[in-house]
Amino acid sequence: MFTLEQIKAAHSKVKSGADFPAYIQELIALGVSNYETYVADGHTDYFGKNSFTISSDKKYHPLPIADDADVIQFEKNLKAHQQGKTDYLTFCSDCAKSGVEKWKVDMGEMSCTYYDKTGNEMLAEAIPVV
Protein backbone atom coordinates (compact mmCIF):
# COMPACT_ATOMS: atom_id res chain seq x y z
CA MET A 1 0.00 0.00 0.00
CA PHE A 2 0.94 3.64 -0.24
CA THR A 3 2.46 5.80 2.48
CA LEU A 4 2.09 9.44 3.48
CA GLU A 5 5.71 9.96 2.45
CA GLN A 6 4.91 8.81 -1.11
CA ILE A 7 1.86 11.07 -1.23
CA LYS A 8 3.87 14.04 0.10
CA ALA A 9 6.52 13.46 -2.58
CA ALA A 10 3.83 13.50 -5.28
CA HIS A 11 2.17 16.58 -3.80
CA SER A 12 5.49 18.45 -3.59
CA LYS A 13 5.44 18.66 -7.40
CA VAL A 14 2.12 20.53 -7.39
CA LYS A 15 2.66 24.27 -7.62
CA SER A 16 -0.86 25.26 -8.72
CA GLY A 17 -4.14 23.80 -9.90
CA ALA A 18 -2.59 23.41 -13.34
CA ASP A 19 -0.48 20.54 -11.93
CA PHE A 20 -3.48 18.70 -10.48
CA PRO A 21 -4.11 16.18 -13.31
CA ALA A 22 -0.52 14.91 -13.22
CA TYR A 23 -0.73 14.64 -9.42
CA ILE A 24 -3.86 12.49 -9.71
CA GLN A 25 -2.11 10.15 -12.14
CA GLU A 26 0.75 9.74 -9.69
CA LEU A 27 -1.68 8.93 -6.85
CA ILE A 28 -3.41 6.34 -9.02
CA ALA A 29 -0.02 4.72 -9.67
CA LEU A 30 0.51 4.56 -5.89
CA GLY A 31 -2.82 2.78 -5.41
CA VAL A 32 -5.00 5.61 -4.10
CA SER A 33 -8.63 5.03 -5.16
CA ASN A 34 -10.11 8.22 -3.72
CA TYR A 35 -9.51 10.87 -1.11
CA GLU A 36 -11.29 13.61 0.82
CA THR A 37 -9.66 16.91 1.74
CA TYR A 38 -11.13 19.01 4.54
CA VAL A 39 -10.76 22.76 4.01
CA ALA A 40 -10.94 23.72 7.71
CA ASP A 41 -7.45 22.38 8.47
CA GLY A 42 -6.21 20.86 5.20
CA HIS A 43 -6.03 17.25 6.39
CA THR A 44 -6.81 14.55 3.86
CA ASP A 45 -8.13 11.01 4.23
CA TYR A 46 -6.75 8.69 1.51
CA PHE A 47 -8.41 5.39 0.58
CA GLY A 48 -7.02 2.35 -1.23
CA LYS A 49 -7.80 -1.30 -1.85
CA ASN A 50 -9.05 -3.63 0.88
CA SER A 51 -10.39 -0.74 2.99
CA PHE A 52 -6.88 0.71 3.43
CA THR A 53 -7.08 4.26 4.85
CA ILE A 54 -4.41 6.74 5.87
CA SER A 55 -4.82 10.35 7.00
CA SER A 56 -2.47 13.29 6.70
CA ASP A 57 -1.82 15.78 9.45
CA LYS A 58 -3.38 19.22 9.53
CA LYS A 59 -1.63 21.50 7.03
CA TYR A 60 -2.44 24.97 8.42
CA HIS A 61 -4.20 26.86 11.20
CA PRO A 62 -7.97 26.35 11.15
CA LEU A 63 -9.97 28.33 8.60
CA PRO A 64 -13.57 29.23 9.38
CA ILE A 65 -15.93 27.81 6.75
CA ALA A 66 -18.65 30.23 5.64
CA ASP A 67 -22.16 29.07 6.50
CA ASP A 68 -23.58 30.24 3.20
CA ALA A 69 -22.17 28.64 0.06
CA ASP A 70 -21.29 31.04 -2.76
CA VAL A 71 -21.00 28.79 -5.81
CA ILE A 72 -20.44 31.66 -8.28
CA GLN A 73 -17.48 33.06 -6.34
CA PHE A 74 -16.12 29.57 -5.75
CA GLU A 75 -16.19 28.82 -9.50
CA LYS A 76 -14.22 32.03 -10.17
CA ASN A 77 -11.63 31.12 -7.52
CA LEU A 78 -11.35 27.55 -8.80
CA LYS A 79 -10.80 28.73 -12.36
CA ALA A 80 -8.06 31.12 -11.21
CA HIS A 81 -6.39 28.30 -9.27
CA GLN A 82 -6.59 25.90 -12.21
CA GLN A 83 -4.92 28.54 -14.37
CA GLY A 84 -2.02 28.70 -11.91
CA LYS A 85 -2.93 32.15 -10.55
CA THR A 86 -3.13 31.08 -6.89
CA ASP A 87 -1.18 28.75 -4.63
CA TYR A 88 -2.71 25.95 -2.58
CA LEU A 89 -3.13 27.88 0.68
CA THR A 90 -4.82 30.77 -1.13
CA PHE A 91 -7.13 28.30 -2.85
CA CYS A 92 -8.06 26.71 0.49
CA SER A 93 -8.72 30.13 2.01
CA ASP A 94 -10.90 31.03 -0.98
CA CYS A 95 -12.77 27.73 -0.57
CA ALA A 96 -13.48 28.48 3.10
CA LYS A 97 -14.79 31.96 2.29
CA SER A 98 -17.06 30.45 -0.38
CA GLY A 99 -18.45 27.84 2.00
CA VAL A 100 -16.60 24.76 0.71
CA GLU A 101 -16.18 22.28 3.57
CA LYS A 102 -14.40 19.54 1.64
CA TRP A 103 -13.71 18.04 -1.74
CA LYS A 104 -13.69 14.42 -2.76
CA VAL A 105 -11.59 13.03 -5.59
CA ASP A 106 -12.68 9.74 -7.12
CA MET A 107 -9.97 8.17 -9.28
CA GLY A 108 -12.35 5.58 -10.78
CA GLU A 109 -14.69 8.27 -12.04
CA MET A 110 -11.87 10.81 -12.58
CA SER A 111 -13.98 13.42 -10.82
CA CYS A 112 -13.57 16.05 -8.13
CA THR A 113 -16.67 17.09 -6.20
CA TYR A 114 -16.89 20.03 -3.77
CA TYR A 115 -19.34 20.06 -0.85
CA ASP A 116 -20.69 22.71 1.51
CA LYS A 117 -21.12 22.37 5.30
CA THR A 118 -24.50 20.69 4.96
CA GLY A 119 -23.13 18.04 2.59
CA ASN A 120 -24.71 19.53 -0.52
CA GLU A 121 -22.76 19.24 -3.75
CA MET A 122 -21.57 22.65 -4.88
CA LEU A 123 -19.68 21.62 -7.99
CA ALA A 124 -18.53 18.42 -9.67
CA GLU A 125 -16.01 18.36 -12.46
CA ALA A 126 -14.14 15.85 -14.54
CA ILE A 127 -10.39 15.59 -14.00
CA PRO A 128 -8.50 15.86 -17.28
CA VAL A 129 -6.36 12.86 -18.17
CA VAL A 130 -2.75 13.78 -19.00
**Is the distance from CB of 127 to CB of 109 less than 8 angstroms?**
no
The whole-angstrom separation of Cα 39 and Cα 62 is 8
Q: What is the pTM of this model?
A: 0.91
Task: Please say whether the beta carbons of 102 and 34 come within 8 A.
Answer: no
Task: Please answer whether residues 81 and 91 qualify as being in contact, where contact means their C-beta atoms are separated by less than 8 angstroms.
Answer: yes
Q: Where do the H-state alpha helices sit in 12-127? A: 20-30, 71-82, 88-97
pLDDT of residue 83: 86
Domains annotated for the chain, with CATH where assigned, are 4-126 (3.30.1810.10)
Q: For residues 31 and 2, is the Cβ–Cβ distance under 8 A?
A: yes
Q: Which residues pair with 103 in a beta bridge?
A: 37, 114
Per-residue pLDDT of 70-106, as tens digits, reads 999 999 999 998 888 888 899 999 999 999 999 999 9
Q: What are phi and psi of 75, to 5 degrees?
A: -60, -40
Q: How far apart are CA 19 and CA 9, in angstroms?
A: 14
What does the pLDDT look like over 37-53, one tens digit per residue? 999 999 999 999 999 99
